[in-house]
Amino acid sequence: MLTHAENETLCRVGRDTPMGKVMRRYWHPVAASDQLPTPDSDPLRVSLLGEKLVEERRQLRPLPEIALPAYTTFTVRVRRWSTIRVVNHTYSVPARLIGERVRVHLHHDQLEVYYAGKLVERLPRLRGQRWARIDYHHVIWSLVKKPGAFARYRWREELLKFVHAISG
């Protein structure tokens, strides 16, 4: 059960209260579009979280006629380490693609890598600063063919993290 002080903290939503600051970080619907006034009429006055907000229809712009794409497309070259760079992140792809150009569809949660019009890889999208996702399945055969290549492999540490993550 909450104490009186805890209850007051959670229930007060004024501008300078802790809960008010939290709630103002999120979007709150205040009216449906058909409730908004016409362009030449007075604005709709709304009170939300203890504040008076004014909504004016003339400030709204029409939605675009065409749907926005669900992804952004990049064309990148597969580097000698069997990797591609997309938005400051490095991803490994199959070694057979080294030197080839691939098309990447960057979705909000994943990347789709296409070569010659066919989907060859689907990878989870990385977030944050300068991360790398190296899958040993992509590079192991090219490293096995070259004696000492693994010791000097640029993404060796990221590769080992991935191997340890999937093994246990």
Domain spans of the chain? 4-59, 72-167
Sequence-distant (≥ 6) Cβ neighbours of residue 129 within 8 angstroms: 88
Give, in order, the Cα–Cα distances in Å from 47 to each of 29, 31, 41, 59, 145: 12, 11, 19, 19, 70
**Residue 54 burial (CB count, 10 A):** 10
Output the pLDDT for position 113.
Answer: 97
Contact by Cβ (8 Å): 74, 103 = yes
State the Cα–Cα distance between residues 46 and 50, nearest whole angstrom: 10
Output the pLDDT for position 143.
Answer: 64
pLDDT digits over 73-118, tens only? 999 999 988 899 999 999 999 989 999 999 999 999 999 999 999 9
Contact by Cβ (8 Å): 111, 99 = no
| Cα of 23 vs its chain's centroid, Å | 23
pLDDT digits over 3-55, tens only? 888 878 878 877 788 887 777 777 566 777 677 767 677 776 766 666 655 55
pTM: 0.53
| Average pLDDT over every residue of 144-162 | 63
Percent of the chain residues past pLDDT 90, beyond the cut: 30
Q: For tokens 């010791």, what's the residue?
A: 151
Q: What is the DSSP string of 74-96?
A: EEEEPPTTSEEEETTEEEE--GG
pLDDT at 70 over 60: yes
pLDDT at 58 over 80: no
Beta pairing class for 89-92 and 132-133: parallel
CA atoms within 13 A on the CB side of 164: 6
pLDDT digits over 122-133, tens only? 999 998 877 888
